[in-house]
Amino acid sequence: MVTITASYTIIPNESTPQGRLWLSDIDQVIRMRHTLTIYIYKAKHNPDFIERLRNSLSKILVHYYPIAGRVCWTEGGRIEIDCNAKGALLLEAETTKTLGDYGDFSPSESTKELVPTIDYNQPMEELPLLAVQLTRFHGNEGLAIGVAFFHPLADGLGAIQFINSWAKIARGDTLEPHEMPFLDRTILKFSHTPLAPRFDHTELKPLPLILGRSDTTVEKNKKVTTALLRLTAEQVEKLKKKANEQTLDLGSRPYSKYEAIGAHIWRCVSKARELDENQPIVVRFNADIRSRIVPPLPQNYFGNALTQTAASGHVGEITSKPLSYVAQKIREAIKVVTNEYIRSQLDVIRGHDHLDNARALFLGQEGNNASFFGNPNFHLTSWMSMPVYEADFGWGKPHYFGLAYVAPHDRALILLSPEGDGSVIVCLHFQEAHIQLFKDFFYRDI
């Protein structure tokens, strides 16, 4: 059981620009919720830790001042950030559980209690965009930092850069010029009349249903559970070697770690569900556009710089063809994300008079009509390139980092392990009825 012992509203410690921050079209079609993550540290708690967090957060918010603001609505269903310096929420808490009681910290209702609870019954305009909880484990075995970060503010890379910069200030260091966030999103603001889509945009089409079904009701009601599956550096290399056994086209680079692991996950998903071999399946991914759009975005761009893309196939081909065949499907889905593709997708968003219609296309409807991205489909995310273990606030690097909530549908998140030895952690969210079979295939088929 977790008890909140103190609550602080942290505002920037210097005056910051006021007014509204325009959010890009990509920001508009991101889930209007906070992403929940946890950092676990094995350091013994010290009473000055909360003061260190309070002081350093007030300093970093001067540079990242939109985070201290609030959401506001404008015409056409757009959201903007009111940079009113109302502040971020910082909670101090303690739990009756020991570090060991939480097991491997895989996403669950148990780990979710280590992250601030956001009350979405409140008006959106009143909710803090950032809420952080410092929890002390029973027996002073360590502590957790739980982060609730409003997703339309920034993507995973932007959020991690913010946390790492905050940690750097907490250690007493100063930020280098290249570490300052680039906040002006009008770099992605376009004035031309939206053009008709220039691509097929598989990622925006209705997802296939299980053959013989007319809706997703049955699948939506099935329980999703999670597992953290570790691949050693040797297993990762075996998968890469397996993916590259077939002769590649002249001039093609070998399949990457992500392409090999992603293909392996897709095959295990297709086998574990035991669906008809003619069952269509769509796998959705996000692709970072920072270096893909022309001109490229600054590397310190703070906002959502992700676009959706998708690969499709049938269960029979995915399970019977070589791993290289599946890896090639993933490669082609990422390769299609060019400057023109990104701009075509942005024009799709801009072509809607009301943003709610665009959100429905990217995220699905709300309530009973909500789109379901699970069985027979899947969502794959890689955070392997993100420096998630650099968040040292002065008491050492995190022993663990991960999501703190169970997704409502099947997905996998691929992370490097904290040991830095080349091993990988796959955070799997999968229907409980099929997860054991997935695990069996996951290790047997390497």
Q: CA 77 to CA 69: how far, in whole Å?
A: 19
Element (H, E) at 61: helix 49-63
State the catalytic residue, choosing from 138, 151, 201, 399.
151
Distance of CA 444 to the CA centre of its chain: 28
Q: Decide: 81 and 73 in contact? Cβ < 8 Å.
A: no
* HSE, side-chain direction, 13 A CA sphere, residue 191: 1
Tokens linked to 61: 């918010």
Residue 418 burial (C-beta neighbours within 10 Å; 0-12, 13-18, 19+): middle
State the catalytic residue, choosing from 184, 356, 392, 445.
392
**Preceding peptide of 376 cis, ω within 30°:** yes
| Helix, strand, or coil (residue 392) | coil
**Is 151 marked active-site?**
yes
Q: How many CB atoms lie within 10 A of CB 84?
A: 16
Q: CA 225 to CA 434: how far, in whole Å?
A: 10
φ, ψ of residue 146 to 5 degrees: the values are: -100, 130
Q: Using DSSP bridges, classify how beta strands 70-73 and 130-136 pair: parallel, antiparallel or unpaired.
A: unpaired
Q: Where are the alpha helices (DSSP H) in 39-129?
A: 49-63, 109-112
Residue 377 burial (C-beta neighbours within 10 Å; 0-12, 13-18, 19+): buried
* HSE, side-chain direction, 13 A CA sphere, residue 205: 14
Q: Decide: 203 and 344 in contact? Cβ < 8 Å.
A: no
Q: Decide: 441 and 409 in contact? Cβ < 8 Å.
A: no
**Is 173 marked active-site?**
no
Tokens linked to 133: 């909880």
Q: What is the DSSP letter of 35?
A: E
Which residues belong to the active site? Answer: 151, 392
